[in-house]
Amino acid sequence: MQSSQKTGAKSYLITKTLDPENQETPIQFIHKDFVTEKLFYRRNHFSYPNFVSSFYWLSIGGLVNFSRTFSLEEIQALPSKTLKSVLECAGNKRGFFKPMVFGEQWQKGAISQGIWKGVSLRTMLRYTGVLEAAKEVVFEGYDFGVRTDSNDLTYFSRSLPIEKALHPDTLIAYEYNGKPLPFKHGFPLRLIVPEWYAMASVKWIKKITVIDHEFKGPFQAVDYVYYPKKDSDEGKLPVTTMKINSTIQQPIDRQILNTGFHTIAGIAWTGRGVITKIEVSVDGGMTWSFANLVQSPEKYAWVRWEYKWEVFEKGEYTILSRAMESEGGKQPKEAVWNRKGYGYNAIDTIKVKVE
Amino acid sequence: MQSSQKTGAKSYLITKTLDPENQETPIQFIHKDFVTEKLFYRRNHFSYPNFVSSFYWLSIGGLVNFSRTFSLEEIQALPSKTLKSVLECAGNKRGFFKPMVFGEQWQKGAISQGIWKGVSLRTMLRYTGVLEAAKEVVFEGYDFGVRTDSNDLTYFSRSLPIEKALHPDTLIAYEYNGKPLPFKHGFPLRLIVPEWYAMASVKWIKKITVIDHEFKGPFQAVDYVYYPKKDSDEGKLPVTTMKINSTIQQPIDRQILNTGFHTIAGIAWTGRGVITKIEVSVDGGMTWSFANLVQSPEKYAWVRWEYKWEVFEKGEYTILSRAMESEGGKQPKEAVWNRKGYGYNAIDTIKVKVE
């Protein structure tokens, strides 16, 4: 018989649904900037696509001077760009909306981060040219299926306004963390649109089309729209840039702690500007202190932060975190409720008991 | 380059804390009666114990005629018993209490089931005898640590009343699903106490002591006690038998569904008697229908059930499940709130939207 010293414990993806596969990152336990493939959240609208990548070609057409197809080898031979970027599902934290909304009840883990390598879409569009009338660029993925609101087959497609499409950091990515893109994250090619919620970062790109009008696919005109009213579409707005946000990773909500010293730790991120400060409150928001940034804030990436807490009085404590960014934005006390549950970014709140 | 057909999706344990390790079973995705080691929920009060199992002896002492130690080989040579039993953490579904309580916020997955093989404790106690004065039997595990409410080292210990200890189905178990107990589930020996919440099924048993009084260890006299009041201990009662309960596995809460046919499926279990019926409501409890039992109900085990639902009208639906058992018990509309959040067993409720 062997000695039984096995103390290894690890965290796993948290399953929401299996087909389509939707799993969230155990974000409370992620203390690195590079989420591994194993723990990178998975968000799909349809079953995984089934295509033969040995015949893979990416076509670019529509309002261009020269329609073209690119092989993966041709794309990888172009000048590359590498950047660290958060991907956050627009539905991250949906489960916190009150009143509750329908759809996957994401907690705090529909977010991950790592290093993406690819070609600027701008670079590729130099080979095709773009006509004067171009207004948007449409990206269609290989994934398709039947939506609950229609009987037809629909491909997952999204567009970007031409300015965002031509931003040098909008990438056609083929590597993640130094390796080929994992299949579940878009192999061989996915879009990476820094600063935007991740529905924009289309996976398994099949074709790119430049158009002169507003794209109206259901993942753009029906889903990924903020509907502020429960029973009408009045006041609707498209979901685009990630809102400023922060998440407390530890302690865990409703944890029971000893008196003494504790580290309150978390991450903060924003789609506009750069995180500049994170404040923490241990008294339900009456007083606030600055957290220490564990690293220098960078555009597109989350910043890790910590706050050392000494607590000697037993009782219940409400701990909050709120982030501020370089353009003057601040994490709000309440998130803006919307029918489909996008963009939840209220000041993060947990409760602990000290005994 | 290879073809990229990889559609495998699987569920994983859901991490609550890593040290001590507390992970729940993705119960919505378990459609078998034998939860694998990989997906069996893990509930620990302390770090995993560190002991050398090649020197493993189990000692039985206290109010017995002959104190003795047993080697694992001796125990395995005794007449064995095999039974299928649920293990359910007393804190299962704690996260659903309103007002919220402190402690691990278990959802519906602090429950698992499989086949346990071992020796009746009763059989072992024939070798030691039990004195007339015996009132309880105390089981001490190898796991220990510092509790938040004390500065001393504490071993995890629990007792059983002598009648329950002598019940022929109270096992000293050494196999799970036909294999040696996994280390994380108590290797080499754990107690299995059918019908009781799983805090009674002490893991990594170190010693067994027969006593003539009420055992007052903190995992018996402080924790695993129902405290009906927030601020006083008035009315407290020990946690023992599992309450009648049921869980809807599918659909998922807040899922968006098509019109048409859906299967509502789940499990039901009880610590008293045997499950006899499960009713399902798709209109928030106004009307109820019987679910089909997928298997014959057995003592100690959960029963799987299904209900075929046809839905043609779009809208929001509140789906409930409630179980009944052979002694006349019924799953209640509301769970009895208690300060530490044990025994949540309200009628299970989910909401879906049909569009």
Task: Determine contact: B151 vs chain A, CB below 8 A.
Answer: no
Order of strands across the sheet that contains B42-43: B14-18, B21-24, B42-43
Q: Do B2 and A53 touch (CB under 8 A)?
A: yes
Tell me if B290 sits within 8 A of B277, measured CB to CB: yes
**The residue to which tokens 């106690």 are assigned:** B125
Give dist(CA A193, CA A181) in Å, integer. Answer: 15
Tokens of B94: 């704690």
**Mean pLDDT, to the nearest integer, of B332-346?**
98
Count other Cβ atoms within 10 Å, centred on residue A263: 11
Exposure string for B86-121, b = 16+ CB within 10 A, e = fewer: bbbbbbbbbbbbeeebbbbbbbbbbbbbbbbbbbbb
Give the pLDDT confidence of B56-115 residue by residue, as tens digits: 999 999 999 999 999 999 999 999 999 999 999 999 999 999 999 999 999 999 999 999
Q: Which residues touch B287 (CB under 8 Å, ≥6 apart)?
A: B281
- Residues in chain A within 8 Å Cβ distance of B10: 15, 18
Question: What pLDDT is recorded for position A151?
Answer: 85
Interface test with B, best of A3, A4, A174, A340 (most B CBs within 10 A): A4
Asked whether residue A76 carries a pLDDT value surpassing 50, the answer given is yes
A37 burial level (CB within 10 Å; 0-12, 13-18, 19+) = middle
Asked whether residue A5 carries a pLDDT value surpassing 90, the answer given is no
CATH for the stretch A14-238: 3.90.420.10
- Residues in chain A within 8 Å Cβ distance of B52: 3-4
**Mean pLDDT, to the nearest integer, of A83-100?**
98
Give the pLDDT confidence of A271-316 residue by residue, as tens digits: 999 999 999 999 999 999 999 999 999 999 999 999 999 999 999 9
Tell me if A44 sits within 8 A of A192, measured CB to CB: no
Q: Shortest Cα distance from A216 to chain B (angstroms)? A: 20
The domain limits of chain A are 14-238, 245-354
Q: Do B12 and A7 touch (CB under 8 A)?
A: no
Mean pLDDT of chain A: 96
- pLDDT band at residue A321 under the 50/70/90 scheme: very high
Q: Which residues touch B173 (CB under 8 Å, ≥6 apart)?
A: B116, B117, B118, B181, B186, B189, B190, B191, B192
At A206, give phi and psi (nearest 5°). -100, -45
The fold of B245-354 is Immunoglobulin-like (2.60.40)
Q: Which of B18, B256, B258 sits opposite A11 (nearest CB)?
A: B18
For B351, the closest chain A residue by CA position comes to: A102
Q: Which of B7, B102, B103 sits opposite A47 (nearest CB)?
A: B7
For B257, the closest chain A residue by CA position comes to: A148
Give the pLDDT confidence of A185-231 residue by residue, as tens digits: 999 999 999 999 999 999 999 999 999 999 999 999 999 999 999 99
Q: Do A183 and B6 touch (CB under 8 A)?
A: yes
- pLDDT band at residue B7 under the 50/70/90 scheme: low
DSSP structure string for B45-75: SSSPP---GGG-EEEEEESSSS-EEEEHHHH
Instruction: Tell me what percent of the residues of chain A surpass a pLDDT of 70.
Output: 98
CATH for the stretch B14-223: 3.90.420.10
ipTM of the complex, rounded to two decimals: 0.92
Partner residues linked to A157 by β-bridges: A140
Q: Which of B105, B148, B254 sits opposite A258 (nearest CB)?
A: B148
DSSP structure string for A228-296: -SSS--TT-EE--BPPPEEEEEES-TT-EE-SEEEEEEEEEE-SSS-EEEEEEESSTTSS-EEPEESS-
